[in-house]
Amino acid sequence: MSRQRFFVNWQIVLALVILTLYVAVAVAAPWLAPQSDPQEPTAFRLMPGVRPSALGPPRPPNPAALLGTAPGGWDILYSLVWGARPVLRFGLVTALTTAWLGVMVGALSGYLEGRSNQLVMRITDAFLAFPAIAGIVLFRQILTPAGTDAPLNMLQRVTSALSLDPVMLALILFSWMPYARIIGANVSALKQAEYALAAKTVGVRPLRIIFRHLLPNAIAPAIVLAARDIGGVVILEAAFTFIGIGSGLPWGAVAVAGRDWVIGPGGNPLTYWWVFVPVTLVLILFSVGWNLLGDGLNTVLNPKSSQAMRRLG
C-alpha cells in the first residue's frame, strides 16, 4: 500500500481529521476542562453551588457550563471532554484484542486440516450462537463483588488487580468469531498457493509459513473490520450502559443521566436538548470516523475494489 494511495482516499482523510480531533481533545483535556483536584481525576464535575441530586432539573447552557448541566448539576461539556480518554482506551483495547484473538484462531485453524479445523470451526459456531448481551450479564455477575464487604473470589481478585473491565472482557470473548472465520477462509485458500507449497516442501516450519507467508497476505480484511469495530464497541458499551448493564463510561453515563428529560413539557423533545443532543452527536461522529477509516482501508487494501473505483472514475 503506497502512501499516495492512502492519503488520496477521501474517506481516510476525513476519518483522520475526525479521529485526530478526538485524540486532540483527549490529550488537551487538562487545559480544556481543568480538574478541581488533579490528584483524584474524575470525568464528572458538579457545578459550584449546586448540591448533587438526581431530581434536580437540567440547566441550560451558560458561561459556567457551555453545554449546560445534566440532572443534578453535572457539567456535560466537562464529561464529554474527559470521557474521550476512557472511550478511546476502551475502543482500541477491546477491538484490537478481539482482532488479535480472532486472527490467531483463524490463522491456525485455516492452516490445519481435517478434524482439527472442524473442531475449531464448531467452537467458533458455538460462540456465534451465544448472545453477547447474555455473556455481559454473566461476566458482570461473576466478576463484580456482591457487596462492599463481600470477600473477593479468585477471578475477582485477578480482574481487580489488573483493572480489567467485565464488559470489555465479555465483548472480547464474544466478538472474535468473525475475524476467525475471515482469516481462516483466507489462510485455507492461500496455503495452496505456490509460494506456500514451496516453503512447505523445503521444510519451513508451519508457524513460520503461517506468520511469514500466509498471514501478511490474508490479514487485510481483519484490519478493515478492526477499524470499524473500534467505533462499534463504544456504541455497544454506551447502549449497554443506557440499559443498565454497561461499565459506565462517561459518555454513556451522560446519556443515562438525561434519558428522563428527552421529552420535555408538552411532548417537546427540544426543551432540554442539551441533555441528549451533544452526547448523541459525539457518539455518532466517533463511530462515523472509524467506519470511514474502515471503508477507506477496504478501498486501499482491496485491489479489486481499487480497480473498480478507478474504472468508475
Q: How confident is the model at residue 166 (pLDDT cuts 50, 70, 90)?
A: confident
Q: What is the pLDDT of residues 111-153, one digit of tens each?
A: 887 788 888 888 888 888 888 788 888 877 777 766 666 677 7
For 50-63, letters b (16+ CB in 10 Å) and e give eeeeeeeebbeeee
Give the SS3 label for residue 70.
strand
pLDDT of residue 304: 57
Contacts of 7-15 with C-beta under 8 Å, sequence gap 24+, read 9/296, 9/299, 9/300, 10/296, 11/292, 11/293, 11/295, 11/296, 11/299, 12/292, 12/293, 12/296, 12/297, 12/300, 13/296, 14/292, 15/289, 15/290, 15/292, 15/293, 15/296
6: CB partners within 8 A, 6+ apart: 12, 300
Domains along the chain with CATH numbers: 9-31+63-312 (1.10.3720.10)
Reported pTM: 0.87
Q: What is the pLDDT of residues 284-295, one digit of tens each?
A: 999 999 999 998
What amino acid is encoded at 272 in this protein? Y
pLDDT of residue 257: 87
| Angle at 141 (CA atoms; ends 137, 142), nearest 5 degrees | 115
